[in-house]
Structures are given as C-alpha cells and as structure tokens.
C-alpha cells in the first residue's frame, strides 16, 4: 500500500469479508476476524496482555508521536507495537458498519446525509469508497494506491513501473 486511503480500503475489505459472503450479518458476528477480536477486546475488562486482540498490531497510529519505521513488539505476542491507520478504533468501527450497510444489498439502515469525516479527510466520495471496498481485488493487482504514488514506484525485482488498472486510476485521481 502506498497511501492511507488504500490501506484503509484494504483493511475494510478484509474485515467485511464474512459479511459480504453472507456468513455474518454484523461485525460482532464475523468469526475469526481482526475486527471481531478488536470489538471483544473493547468489551473486555482483562489486562491488555490477556485481551482477545493482544496478538494484533494496534490499529491507531499517532503520526506526530510514533517513530518512523518498524517498531518490533516487546511482548513477543505480535510483530509490531505500532499502529497502521491514522484513525481511532471507534471511528474505524463506525466506518466499517456504515460501509457494510452501503455496499451489501438488503441491509437495514439509512444512508447518512453526509460522508463520514474520514472519507472527507481522505478525499473520497461515498460512492468511490464503496466501490473501492466492494471491488478491491478487481481494482488492484500487486500494489494499491493513488496514481501519483504508484506511478513513482518501481518493482524491486524487475525495476518496472507498477500497473494500476484504469478504473482504480479513475477512482483515485485527485481533482485539479
């Protein structure tokens, strides 16, 4: 992933998989997913090392305070103690719930009158966000990101430019 919008869309795509496959109706019912573990940990009163999500890297990153680069875990229970998205867990859960209702036909709930704040911050419209999450696997091959990021990168092995599918390029091109 080359940018926050792509990383957020990928995380949502993975966390919504069971809902999309009609194997669960809600995030809480999505067995064996990281979002379910994070929800269980929020409800848990046990110490942090015994929480159901103790093996997961934290979700939230503090771009002002967290060090740049990898941050190996001291606990040995997970690879990293560093978050990966500039969004709180509560905001991420709200976005996932909203997205599940938007993309899945027949889901209960009303479309909010305004886009969630994270979408505004990432420069994505509601329809664009829904298409990115719904078709993530179709839109991206070996790399995901905005065209300006992807176009500046080369494959480490072949040194060729990465290919960005036309529809992904259309969805993620920032207006002038």
The per-residue pLDDT for range 45-66, each reduced to its tens digit, is 666 667 888 888 888 887 777 7
Alpha helix positions (H), the chain = 4-15, 17-20, 34-43, 89-103, 117-122, 126-134, 136-139, 147-150, 166-172
105 vs 83, higher pLDDT: 83
What's the pLDDT at 105?
55
Computed over every residue of the chain, the mean pLDDT equals 78
pTM attached to this predicted model: 0.65
Q: Flag whether pLDDT at 104 surpasses 50.
A: yes
- Residue pair 169/129 in contact (Cβ under 8 Å)? The answer is no
Model pLDDT, residue 165: 92
A 10 A CB-CB count for 91 gives 16
Q: What is the pLDDT of residue 44?
A: 67
Percent of the chain with pLDDT over 70: 83
- Give buried/exposed letters for 130-152 (b at 16+ CB in 10 A, else e): ebbbbbbeebbeeebbbbebbee
37/110: higher pLDDT: 37
Q: How far apart are CA 102 and CA 127, in angstroms?
A: 9
Query: Tokens for 164?
Result: 């960005």
SS3 assignment, position 91: helix
Which pLDDT belongs to residue 15? Answer: 92
In 3D space, the residue among 117, 125, 115, 123 whose CA is nearest the CA of residue 146 turns out to be: 123
pLDDT at residue number 145: 83
- State both tokens at 84: 């990966």
What stretches of 27-80 adopt beta strand conformation (E)?
none
């Amino acid at each position: 992933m080359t940018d926050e919008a792509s990383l957020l869309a990928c995380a949502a795509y993975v966390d919504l998989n069971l809902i999309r496959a009609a194997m669960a109706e809600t995030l809480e019912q999505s067995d064996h997913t990281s979002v379910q573990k994070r929800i269980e940990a929020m409800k848990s009163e046990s110490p942090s090392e015994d929480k159901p999500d103790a093996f997961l890297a934290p979700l939230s990153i503090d771009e002002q305070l967290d060090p740049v680069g990898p941050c190996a875990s001291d606990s040995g229970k997970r690879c990293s103690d560093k978050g990966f998205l500039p969004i709180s867990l509560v905001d991420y859960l709200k976005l996932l719930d909203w997205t599940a209702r938007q993309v899945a036909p027949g889901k209960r709930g009303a479309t909010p009158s305004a886009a969630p704040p994270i979408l505004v911050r990432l420069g994505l419209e509601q329809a664009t966000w829904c298409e990115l999450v719904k078709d993530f696997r179709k839109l991206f091959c070996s790399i995901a990101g905005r065209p300006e990021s992807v176009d500046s990168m080369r494959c480490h092995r072949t040194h060729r430019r990465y290919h960005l599918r036309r529809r992904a390029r259309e969805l993620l091109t920032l207006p002038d």
